[in-house]
Structure 1
Amino acid sequence: MELLQLQYFLEVARLEHVTEAARSLHVTQSSLSKTIQRLEEDLGVPLFDRTGRKLKLNEFGSRFLRRAERALFELEQGKQEICDLSSPEYGTLELAVTTASTLPNILSAFRVKRPHVHFHVQMLTTQEMVTRLDRGEVDFCLSSPPIHGDDIECQIVFIDPILVAVPKGHRLADRSSVSLTELSEEWFIGVKKGYGTRDLVDSVCQSVGFVPQYVYEGDEPARLSALVEAGIGIAFIPSTARNEREQLTYLQVEDHEIIREIALLWHRSRYLSRTALEFRELVIEYFDALSK
């Protein structure tokens, strides 16, 4: 059994389609099919049920997938550990976030501390984040809401109040607070469903008898303030995303405490390099200072 066979098997199992898997792996379909066929011959059983070029994992394939994922995960962890030992001043960090408002300050502080470390950040929905974390594809996640699981370490690092942002000249702009029921006829700017803050505020609004009407739904939280400032609608904005330089008024919610918990997540089984440990320490220290 070869490492290449396992890597090809995982990609086919993920996509369940020969053509798409071959394109993703940058190999020919015939080469991919032959590699999977050799793996099945080595194991003595078929791993997929086939309908044309579409494949579906059967019971043999589903059981073998769990073992193959674990084997490749351990090999990747070994590779990272060796890299960490051989070049401790360098390294990489794979990050995923559902909340990005504090990220610029955190990354800026970390770059000063470790200027040679390369990091890559992805903005994901909660479910996408869980999937990447389970696969070992990210080192850390900054998530709201917190995510709990058998293989996930979850440390809540900050309690973040949710405010209502309105543009200057809005009927509520001279207020410091507002009740949710007063917002029932407003147009809203927000992120798409699946992001923690959106799901949270939708649930709270529904509990008082209305469903927010959105004129804009996106996946870039940083853009919300600009759209509110332009008078397109109002928005629920976490306090950590508040920007005093913008022409906005931020209102407290009177009758409900709307807060989001920001959590730092990592995989219990994943090797944490010295770079990763330093990043975790910096994140915790940053939010500790923000809480004071």
Structure 2
Amino acid sequence: MELLQLKYFLEVARLEHVTEAARSLHVTQSSLSKTIQRLEEDLGVPLFDRTGRKLRLNEFGRKFLIRAERALFELEQGKKEISDLSGPEYGSLELAVTTASMLPHILREFRQKRPFIQFHVQMLSTQEMVTLLQRGDVDFCLSSPPIQGEDIECQIVYTEPILVAVPKGHRLADRSSVTLAELKDEWFVGVKKGYRTRDLVDSVCESAGFALKYVYEGNEPTRLSALVEAGIGIAFMPSTAMNPREPIRYLQVEEHELVREIALLWNRNRYISRAALEFREVVMEYFEAISKQTI
């Protein structure tokens, strides 16, 4: 059994289509088909049910897929460990976030400590993040909400209040706090359903007897402050998204504890490089510092 056979098998299992898998692997269809056929001959059983070029994993294939993924994962972790030992000052980090408001500050601090480490950041939904974590494809994730899983380590790093953002000149702009009842006739800008802050706020308002009226729903949380400033609507925003230079007032919510938890996540089976350990340290120091500022 060859390593190449396992890599080809995983790609065909993922796409379940010979043409698409060959295109993804940059090989010919005939070469891919022959490689998969040799693997099945080595194992003595078919791994796919075939209908033309369409393939579907059978019971043998599903069982073997679990082992093949684990084997290639361990080999990749060994490669990372050797690379880390041979050149700890140079390396890369794979990061994912569901919440990005504090990320520029964290990455700036990390880059000052390790200027030669490259990093790649993805903004993902919760489910996309779970998939990458379970596959061990990322070093760390910053997520709200926290995610629990058999292979996932979850450390709560910060609990932050969710505030109401209103533009200057708004009827509530001279207030420091507001009740939910006072907001029921307002128009809101927000992210789409499925984001933690949106779902939490909607649930709390529904329990208070009304549904929020949205004039804008999007996928970019960072755009909300500009919409608030423009007077399009008001918004529920986490405290870490506050920018004191913006002409926006932030009000606390009375009578309800509106908070969200931010967690640092990682796959406990993935090798943690020296650079990744230092990134975790920077994250912990950052949230410890802003926690002290709010006391």
Instruction: Name the TM-score class by shorter chain.
Output: over 0.9
Change (3 A) 1:31 1:200: farther
- Give 2:188's aligned residue: 188
Distance 2:19 2:216 in 1: 36
| Aligned amino acid, residue 92 of structure 1 | S
| Unaligned residue ranges in structure 1 (runs of 5+) | none
How far residue 16 of structure 1 moved from its aligned partner, in angstroms, is 2.4
Aligned partners of 2:3, 2:225: CA distance in 1, in Å?
Answer: 48
- Residue 169 of structure 1: aligned partner: 169
Q: What TM-score do the two structures reach when normalised by structure 2?
A: 0.93
Q: Structure 2: how far apart are the matches of 1:17 and 1:200?
A: 40
Counterpart code for 1:216:
Y
Please say if 1:280 is aligned against 2:277: no
Q: Which residue of 2 aligns with 1:6?
A: 6
Aligned partner of 1:82 in structure 2 is 82
Structure 1 residues 51 and 206: alpha-carbon distance in aligned structure 2, compared to 1, 3 A threshold: farther
State the number of aligned residues. 292
Q: Identify if the C-alpha distance between structure 1 residues 162 and 4 changes in structure 2 by more than 3 Å, giving closer, same or farther.
A: same
User: 2:124 matched to 1:140?
Assistant: no
Could you report, residue by residue, the CA deviation over 1:51-109 in whole angstroms, capped at 9, with x for unpaired residues? 33333222211111111111011000000001001101111110000111111111001
Distance 1:72 1:233, change over 3 A: same
Structure 1 stretches of 4+ with a deviation exceeding 6 A read none
Counterpart of 2:46?
46
Cα distance in 2 between the residues matched to 1:142 and 1:222: 16
Q: Which moved further from structure 2: 103-112 or 48-57?
A: 48-57
Q: Structure 2 vs 1, CA of residues 237 and 13 (structure 1 numbering), >3 Å: closer, same or farther?
A: same
Deviation sequence 1:207-233 (CA, Å, 0-9, x none):
223333333333322111112211222
* Matched position secondary structure for 2:146: coil
Alpha-carbon distance between aligned partners in 2 of 1:35 and 1:238, rounded to the nearest angstrom: 52
Equivalent residue of 1:237, what SS? strand
> Equivalent residue of 1:88, what SS?
coil
Give the conservation status (yes or no) of the 8 Å contact 1:127–1:194: no
Which moved further from structure 2: 9-18 or 127-136?
Answer: 9-18
| C-alpha spacing 1:93/1:44, structure 2 compared with 1 (3 Å) | same
Q: What code does the residue aligned with 1:57 have?
A: L
Partner in structure 2 of residue 94 of structure 1: 94
Q: Which runs of 5+ in 2 are unaligned?
A: none
